[in-house]
Amino acid sequence: MPERGAPEIPVSLVSLRVNGTWLSLRLDNRTTLLDALREHLDLVGAKKGCDHGQCGACTVLVGGRRANSCLLLAVACDGSDVTTVEGLAEGERLHPVQEAFVAHDALQCGYCTPGQICSAVGMLAEAAEGHPSYATAPDRLAADSSPGQGAPEPFDALEIRERMSGNLCRCGAYPNIVDAIAEAARS
């Protein structure tokens, strides 16, 4: 415990690989991954909607898996590989999920959008690896149903809705979000 009257903010050196670049940051131990991205790296694509893991607006990919960055302390992510919505496009060429969101008007105010897109990218990878969801009936899994053996068939709107329900959209763009993801899944 620090002496009273001489308080100090405990900080740590944290290394993160963000959108392909290794960065070293000196961060308050209380700083979440979300705040590290937004306030320290000016990567504001990840949004703060609730700060409690309830809305999904802060979703990024950590080690390729989708995660609520507001629930992760940056210091605990030391050495992690983080991809934000800013890291999905290749130069001017949008990621297929981003393209599909534009094409299907799968956004209105846009505040949940980066989280929806990162979540969709992570979700499609989970499905492709064969991870089932609540909506996946046993007989709808690919013949060899162990994880890693391909997406549940058919990968329909029900599957997408179920798997995307951690990302809230108050504007109510869900039908268009589902259409966009379905298109990206086909491509």
Please give the residue ranges that form the binding site for other proteins (CB under 8 A): 5, 7-9, 28, 30-31, 35, 38-39, 42-52, 54-55, 57, 84-86, 88-89, 94, 98, 101-103, 105, 107-114, 117, 160-162, 164-178
Measured between alpha carbons, how far apart are the two ends of the chain, in Å? Answer: 56
Q: Given the complex with other proteins, which of 136 and 176 has the nearer CB atom?
A: 176
Shortest Å, Cβ 15 to other proteins: 20
Q: Given the complex with other proteins, which of 48 and 141 has the nearer CB atom?
A: 48
Q: Given the complex with other proteins, which of 30 and 149 has the nearer CB atom?
A: 30
Closest of 47, 44, 13, 41 to residue 28, by C-alpha: 13
Shortest Å, Cβ 171 to other proteins: 5
Q: Given the complex with other proteins, which of 59 and 151 has the nearer CB atom?
A: 59
Q: Given the complex with other proteins, which of 9 and 143 has the nearer CB atom?
A: 9
Report the DSSP beta bridge partners of residue 81.
Answer: 17
Shortest Å, Cβ 73 to other proteins: 11
Shortest Å, Cβ 156 to other proteins: 12
Looking at this protein, which amino acid is placed at residue 80? S
DSSP class of residue 50? Answer: S
**Strand 11-18 versus strand 80-83 pairing type:** parallel
Shortest Å, Cβ 143 to other proteins: 27
Q: Given the complex with other proteins, which of 33 and 164 has the nearer CB atom?
A: 164
Shortest Å, Cβ 5 to other proteins: 7
